[in-house]
Amino acid sequence: MKNKVSTADNIYLILAFVVMGVLYYSSSMSYQDQTVQPILHQWLENEPLRGLLERVEFMYAGSEISVNASGYIGFIEFFIRKGAHFVSFFFLGLFWYLGLRNRVNNPYLTVILAVMLSIGYASFDELRQSFHPNRTALMEDVMLDLAGAAVGIVIGLLSTNPKRKKRRKRVS
């Protein structure tokens, strides 16, 4: 039996498109227009936790990520930028799932659609970004976006567990 589509379902789809619009706008900006380093220099001028962060070193997209390679502020900005990827696609995946769950009769198909829409947009966004100055398209960013979307979809799935709803209806 198909669930009734609610106003909330429509709002979730609108929110998915809003997130996509924000991502589209953000990807259109150059790195220089997007950098948060000047703000970080003001907020973190004493470089708190530098001793601890200097021990962190790893590779991302073939580049070393460390305080030594990027500088303290560049290192912090890397995590802010990658966190923004994850969080943006968390919400995109969540909103796609919540907006589609009552439109599609099969919960597995709903999850697959939400994942495909999210990863499709992540791929498109990275490709588009490659045409802008000082920006690069990275497969690692698409994978990070997919991870964010997957977590959002799982949260949506767990928060709308159909077995819980069935138990409530039986009790009533």
**Residue 169, pLDDT score:** 53
124: pLDDT strictly greater than 80: yes
153 pLDDT tier (thresholds 50, 70, 90): very high
1: pLDDT strictly greater than 50: no
47 Cβ contact list (under 8 Å, min separation 6): 72
**Residue 171, pLDDT score:** 52
Mean pLDDT across the chain: 89
**Residue 135, pLDDT score:** 81
Lowest mean pLDDT among 10-19, 135-144, 145-154: 135-144
What's the rounded Cα separation, in Å, for the pair 72 and 90?
27
**Residue 81, pLDDT score:** 92
121: pLDDT strictly greater than 50: yes
Q: How many residues does the chain have?
A: 172
**97 to each of 76, 84, 92, how far by Cα in Å?**
32, 20, 9
161 pLDDT tier (thresholds 50, 70, 90): low
**Residue 157 tokens, joined:** 């799935």
Q: Whole-model pTM?
A: 0.87
89 pLDDT tier (thresholds 50, 70, 90): very high
